Amino acid sequence: MTTRAAVNILGADGTVIDVTSLGANAITTEHPGPGQYLVHGTLGMVPPPEGWGYVLNQVDASCSVAINYNDGVLAVSVAKGGEPANLAHSITLHVAVDSLPVHGVPELTAPEPDPMEVAIAELNRLRSVADYAIAPLQDAVDVDEATDADLAALKSWKKYRVALSRVIEQPQFPDAIEWPVAPA
């Protein structure tokens, strides 16, 4: 199975700057002459649509690039004005590499959530809902514009908010919680 990697190669001497890989990353390079970069340890370029080919640093935008893959060697040829030339900065290649063996990839498991953190987060969320419902009802009372329905709703929401404040007093908190029911 193959996967992808991006390898950054320094133009002056052809050394690998870094490799970002979803698989193997043992990639080496040679720089046998001007404008010649030989890359070992890849399976060639990643074909479209999964691969995006190569990217030159903007300093090297006027260079032309040709890439071939034969006998396990990815040959990158660079020219400027029709003559072989070293890159002034760098090139990034999107190459194919062998996938890491399954046994070599550590299994990632999410840590168990802390029951106290989960309970407090839910308590804060429910308290915010209650506060949001209470604020305009209390405003109506404060300015003497509350209806009987507003007064009944305000009382229900405030009772709910009091019940929320007592949740932490439950004997099984935070492992088993009997949440109060929000007003309709």
Nearest to 96 by CA among 162, 147, 51: 51
Residue carrying the six token digits 């405030």: 158
Q: Which pLDDT score is estimated for 38?
A: 96
| Residue 49 pLDDT grade (very low, low, confident, very high; cuts 50, 70, 90) | confident
Is the pLDDT at 50 greater than 70? The verdict is yes
Q: Which pLDDT score is estimated for 103?
A: 66
pTM of the prediction? 0.54
Q: Higher pLDDT residue, 111 or 50? A: 111
Average pLDDT score over residue span 84-111: 85
Is the pLDDT at 10 greater than 90? The verdict is yes
Q: Which pLDDT score is estimated for 105?
A: 59
Q: Which pLDDT score is estimated for 134?
A: 96
Q: What are the sequence ranges of the domains in the chain? A: 2-99, 115-169
pLDDT digits (tens, 9 = 90+) for 132-182: 999 999 999 999 999 999 999 999 999 999 999 999 999 999 999 999 999
Average pLDDT score over residue span 98-125: 85
Q: Which pLDDT score is estimated for 22?
A: 83
Q: Which pLDDT score is estimated for 1?
A: 64
pLDDT digits (tens, 9 = 90+) for 12-34: 999 999 998 888 888 999 999 99
177 contact partners, CB below 8 Å, separation of at least 6: 119, 167, 170
